[in-house]
Amino acid sequence: MSCANPLKHIPALAASHLKHEWILTFCLVIALAAVIAPLLVLLGLKYGTIQTLRERLVEDPIFREIRPSQTREFSPQWFDELQSWPGIGFVTPTILPLSSVISVVASGGRNSELFDLIPTAAGDPLLLENGGVVPTDGEVVLSAEAARRSAVAPGDEITVKVTRSRGGRPEHVEERLRVVSILSPRAGSLARVYAPLAFVLDVEGYKEGYAAPSRGWPGDTPQPYPSFDGALLLMPKPMLPIARSGLIINTGFGRIVDGSAKDAAELLGFPVPEELTVYNLLAPGAPVTITNLRAIEQKLRGQTGVLLPYVRGLDMAVDGSRTAPIGLSIDERQAELLGIHSTPWGRFGGTLPENGQLVHVLWPAATPTTATEIAVRAVGVAELDFPLRVAGSTSLSRPVVPVELLGVLRTATQRPIVFNPATDHFEMARGGYRGFRLYARSIDDVPALYHRLKSEGIEVIAEVEAIERIQVLDRGLSRLFWLIALLGLFGSTAVLVSSLYAAVERRRRDLGVLRLLGFARRHVFFFPIAQGIMIAALGLMLGFGGYAALAQVINHAFASELAPGEAFCTLPAQYLPIFCLATLVLATLASLVAAWRATGIDPAEVIREQ
């Protein structure tokens, strides 16, 4: 008898043989399932236990949070850089704790409650993972405690009252906001109101006395203060030593240095008469302010002299080229003493020039210009663009601007300043933020971010120890699982190898008959392999059934300790095909020894036995 394709009959013959020796087959399947089921239970316990701990303790956003432990200023550029760090899941600036307290009155209510105002933004995990949504302008989210105390529900409106004291008078503004969601108690036990960052910054600014024009909140517009590197005192005659020394007492200046007309020309940018006595007033380690200069003027009252503040090394881009302007603000009397013309904006005083004169310029007559307005860019903390309006010409070699303008630009190298073209005024911009809310993308990212922030001198608080304990437990259970799995691997491999080899020895005559019927060695080779795969498949089914029964018993036994949706013994779906494939590959490899033995059976032995 011959067969056109003997190989396709091998699986059926192998199955018939297993069915014929069903007792031995059943014992093999039981033995294999006895290895598979405990491994599945152990893997389920490892995954279920760690997953439950991670979800309860660590994957809760509170445990992914890294909080600053000290109040300090963080620049906007620092936040931009922080966003690019690996492992950052969410970060937003915060304000001072004292500025974050607001009074909340529920719609229709009379009693007010004091709550903490917390900034939020898109992607905030504390809100999104605790039943909340990210609010937009005009909306807020309340913590569970805040909702309980104010007796509001999602969709209700609240009135936020912001108070301050300005000029000794109490002031307040009110804003009506809609509650879009209430957080679950897991988000924290404090009474908090979560609002967009823009609203929170407006609240902070209002409490500090500033206006919020977009909300109609009145207040001051913060103007920058001029600062200088020093001041030159030019006198027609030398001062007495006692008077000279008295200039630095209670004025904020630390040193007074004798100078020359050449020194003055280098600092001021224009020549001064040789007959004048020059004194250089310095405040080492600190800028010179208007307060310091006023104190000097008080001591010089009744004396003839000129006090000229100066700024060193400051230049600006004028029509694309770098220029170092001369800062000068003098009246007719001072100009006569210096031998030059006075400036249209008058002498240096205690306030910034008004009516747009702060951005006036006298252009050098040697390089005349027909423009009435010149675009200027200065580089400080941020680039500062503003116009210079030509108010006349000067015989000096460089453009002349009010010395107050140079003082403002010097301040801009330390604090961010913007120019408002609508008012022709420079205004102080937000220099930085007083804290941050930071959440790592995963618990595994928390330790690295914690140590990196600490290395940069930023003191922070994080649940690093709890996270590391869970990670140690995870690694320990992983090693235990793989150790037991390795022992089970050797045991199941030995069972399959010995059983399949013994089956080949018992069926030598039957396999020899197959050879006589036309089956080649390569066909007989697959006979033990097919049996090994079938036994492994049956063992897998029985093993999964045993695992399901044991997992049910374990989870039921610990049901009182588990929250809804939690399981103490569970396997992710993606593990199942991997485990099945690994078992079938193992069975195939274990059957190779028996398959090799089957190819060595000689059909002549069957003829001799007959």
Residue 544 has pLDDT above 50, yes or no: yes
DSSP collapsed to 3 states, 275-321: CCEEEEEECCCCCECHHHHHHHHHHCCCCCCEEEEECCCCCEEECCE
- Report which residue type is found at 184: S
Q: What does the pLDDT read at residue 555?
A: 74
Mean pLDDT on 305-330 = 88
Q: What does the pLDDT read at residue 1?
A: 44
Q: What does the pLDDT read at residue 128?
A: 92
| Contact partners, residue 553, CB within 8 Å, separation at least 6 | none
In whole angstroms, give the CA distance from residue 527 to residue 561: 51
- Range with the lowest mean pLDDT among 24-28, 122-126, 404-408? 24-28
The pLDDT-based confidence of 462 (bands split at 50, 70, 90) is confident
Residue 2 has pLDDT above 50, yes or no: no
In the chain, domain spans = 6-58+466-609, 66-219+432-462
Q: How long, in residues, is the chain?
A: 610
426 close to 419: Cβ distance less than 8 angstroms:
yes
pLDDT tens track for 560-606: 666 666 676 777 777 678 777 876 776 676 666 555 655 555 555 55
Residue 333 has pLDDT above 60, yes or no: yes
The count of other CB atoms within 10 Å of the CB of residue 400 is 27
Query: Which range, 40-49, 252-261, 529-538, has the best average confidence (pLDDT)?
Result: 252-261
User: When comparing pLDDT for 23 and 133, which is higher?
Assistant: 133
Mean pLDDT on 522-528 = 64
The pLDDT-based confidence of 75 (bands split at 50, 70, 90) is confident
- Tokens standing for residue 70: 């000290």
In whole angstroms, give the CA distance from residue 363 to residue 392: 6
- Report which residue type is found at 106: A
Q: What does the pLDDT read at residue 199?
A: 94
Long-range interactions of 204-208: CB distance < 8 A, separation 24+: 204/95, 204/96, 204/99, 204/100, 206/162, 206/164, 206/173, 207/99, 207/162, 207/163, 207/164, 208/99, 208/164
Phi, psi of 514 (to 5 degrees): -60, -40
Percent of the chain with pLDDT over 70: 81
In whole angstroms, give the CA distance from residue 575 to residue 52: 17
In whole angstroms, give the CA distance from residue 569 to residue 173: 56
pLDDT tens track for 344-378: 998 888 788 888 889 999 999 888 888 888 888 88
CA–CA distance from 436 to each of 189, 248, 393, 416, 462 (Å)? 20, 42, 51, 20, 13
The mean predicted confidence, pLDDT, of the chain is: 81
pLDDT tens track for 115-159: 999 999 999 999 998 989 999 999 999 999 999 998 899 999 999
Residue 239 has pLDDT above 80, yes or no: yes
The pLDDT-based confidence of 527 (bands split at 50, 70, 90) is low
- Range with the lowest mean pLDDT among 52-56, 60-64, 341-345, 535-539? 52-56
Query: Which range, 471-475, 601-605, 606-610, has the best average confidence (pLDDT)?
Result: 471-475
In whole angstroms, give the CA distance from residue 350 to residue 293: 9
Q: What does the pLDDT read at residue 605?
A: 58
Helices (H), 380-520: 403-412, 446-455, 464-506, 508-516
Percent of the chain with pLDDT over 90: 27
Q: What does the pLDDT read at residue 563?
A: 60
DSSP state of 58: I
Residue 38 has pLDDT above 80, yes or no: no
Residue 518 has pLDDT above 60, yes or no: no
Residue 195 has pLDDT above 80, yes or no: yes
In whole angstroms, give the CA distance from residue 154 to residue 199: 20
